[in-house]
Structure 1
Amino acid sequence: MTASHDKPPLRIALAGLGTVGGGVIRLLETNAGLIARRAGRPIEIVAVCARDRNKDRGVDLSRYPWEDDMALLAEREDVDVVVELVGGADGPALALARRALAAGKGLVTANKAMIAHHGMELASAAESAGAPLKFEAAVAGGIPVIKGLREGAAANAVSRVYGILNGTCNYILSTMEKSGRDFGDVLGEAQALGYAEADPSFDIEGVDAAHKLAIISAIAFGSRVDLEAMEIDGITRIRSADIAQAAALGYVIRLIGIADRDGEGDGLFQRVQPCLVPRSHPLASVDGPTNAVVVEGNFSGRLLFQGAGAGDGPTASAVVADLIDIARGVDTPPFSVPVSALETLPAADPGHRLSSTYLRFTVTDRPGVLAEITAAMRDAGVSIESLIQHGRHEEGGEVLVAMVTHEGPESGVARALALLEGSASVVEPPLVMRLLG
């Protein structure tokens, strides 16, 4: 057997020296010997690039050649793989990715937005160039979800994949649950602790989770990435009263991304939405800034992947795991099968899906309002399992009315809400959350 030091090193160029980029450097330096043994050869950084050359990043960059123009990393003859850690669906990150693959370089990225929006194009370019494209770090940080789907569960027909895909939202919801505080207060705390960005909209509106779900559902179901077909709803409208009502019913609220093949047809169902999760379900105990993904295979059964979804250490671990695969010569198609073999699946109609639904209405406090809501449910064929009115404000003020429906087609709830649309009694759009079955 040839020793690792007898083989030429895998030479990488690193674009982006933020939290994750610094973590990659520290990991490659700290575990250099172990990584070389497991990869079969050393992995060496031969060039780096970032916006600010003089910023203190807590790592010694003096030994690494610096490129002021990021695009030139793809042109260097001494580079085998470009590691893109810049972020953003388009702009410099996408330009670098295209240029690296066109030059026949491998590409490793943690950029879920870029893969969700341009993954098909980049995978095709990688195949044409015979270059590896890997993005384990783009979904759930250090949790090997993509590797688990692409390799560990490769023999299975996956019926459903779902989970908690955004640590910021999970921190906010689980903290609201424990403290009884409202959304805005806990969001501010999450920002102060570094769990939420200064502009947290991608996280709290469900977009970040949607990017991740689009990627893993494409791998799970052998389909082309289709972000546009996904239903996306975030957590900004959840109140402490909703958390308390869920708890009284034996549930917790979590932002859940779910994808499955439509049981009534050939479509692919994809949705990101806050859900009521039974306390007995494995996802109910996932709290703080943690991610967890459940994969249901026809022979493997239920598989649970759980761990840190972000941070320098876990994400750097996933980046370097991809580099080790490339060093070993492991070159699986980015989405498990060649792009030409990926199916184009239509978006499934959610109307016939059976579920129980939590509905919360903000209504004017006057006689007849409850009768109006329940009449709309009756006329739409929706059966109410439980109903509660939250508190009572001054006469003429607003109150919260929450209900849980019996299991039935989602189309029924949609019809009931359509009947109530424009009602003077309902002062804001109802909050709709499904109960996770």
Structure 2
Amino acid sequence: MAALDTTQAPVFALDQVPLEPIAAAEGTPCYVYSAPVVSRRLAALQQALADCAWPHAVHYALKANSSLAIARLIRDGGAHADANSIGEIALATRAGFRPDQIVFTGVGKSPQELERAVSLDLKAINAESPGELDRIDALARSQGRRVRVALRVNPDVDAQSHPHISTGLKTSKFGVPLDDAAEVLRARRDAAGLEIIGVHVHVGSQITSLGPLCAAARKVADLAVALRAEGFPLSHLDLGGGLGIVYEQGGDVPTYEAFARALVDVARPTGLTLIVEPGRTLVGPAGVLLARVIDVKPHAGGGRFVVLDAGMTELMRPALYGAFHRIVPVHAADRPLVPCDVVGPVCESSDTFGRVRELPEPHVGDLMAIMDAGAYGAVMSNTYNRRPLPPEVLVEADGSWRVIRRRPTLDDMFALEQA
């Protein structure tokens, strides 16, 4: 379900909307998203879960793409929200999510964040440690409240994805070790400020096999059954997200139907509502990063460097993880294929999008699309080298498009500084 139409048309398009006019109007680098792709993917996931006939809720992981328009599109599609900071909670409420539709996750929640979260009566706060449970309890009692919490459990399961985005091993900073979880909750079952309603697990991102997800889910489900037998009034089993997408041609990921069946099969014996927290899988294939070629120069190895006006400041994943993204010329060109190292303009050798890519011989001014950039793209962009953040554009179902975040001016960038 890649967003970009890569047929042999004279000009590639996003949902039949030409990309060149968007680049001409808004400049490059520029993110462009397809609203129909996001909506279709969310609807397909929800249908797969509904077909399993078990109580469930989809909480979109805002960290994947927290643009206000994308969050509102997800809300309009019937999903709820998973937030990792007070900033994401504020974004979620601005997008129209009710507090009782928001789960607050995050490995390190500051005192200010916890105080605000406790006051909001969220669906749940996913606590990461015994100490965090105690801090939530103290804040809740000080506010005369009882706060719904779930405990994040570390199952010591290898997600088999990149080490930087694997979160379920015992060496990871996330959650409470599985063997300690029951005792942590027993010690706090009478805490006046806590209503313990769930257990939570998330083993990582860009998962391409159901094995790790199911292994972690079964461990946490067994814990939930044991806790319910002890009288804990659990209401949900939060099995996280992490389902990957296909970045390289020929790659494979589980279908939504297989994903839903596997997790519902684990949740059903517990009697608990299933919560899933997808992010990348909903928005990743819906976005492209547009960039222009600003230089082409010989490569010592016999190829050439193709320098784009986008770099690691706009899309950090290749520099941070060595992540692969397809790179496609927007205009079909009858030119010979040549080996290219596609790089950015930032003053770092790691500012590279792809090495030895076979592309139609690039010329300065060519418009390129970096594919599957809807997740962990704009949301991780930064202003290193004093580069303004890229604008974001949303293509609507009727073929129109609109700017959903403008490019900051230099005055915008300097507005918070004093000499």
Q: TM-score w.r.t. structure 2 length?
A: 0.32
TM-score normalised over the length of structure 1: 0.31
Greater relative CO (CA pairs within 8 A, separation 6+): 2
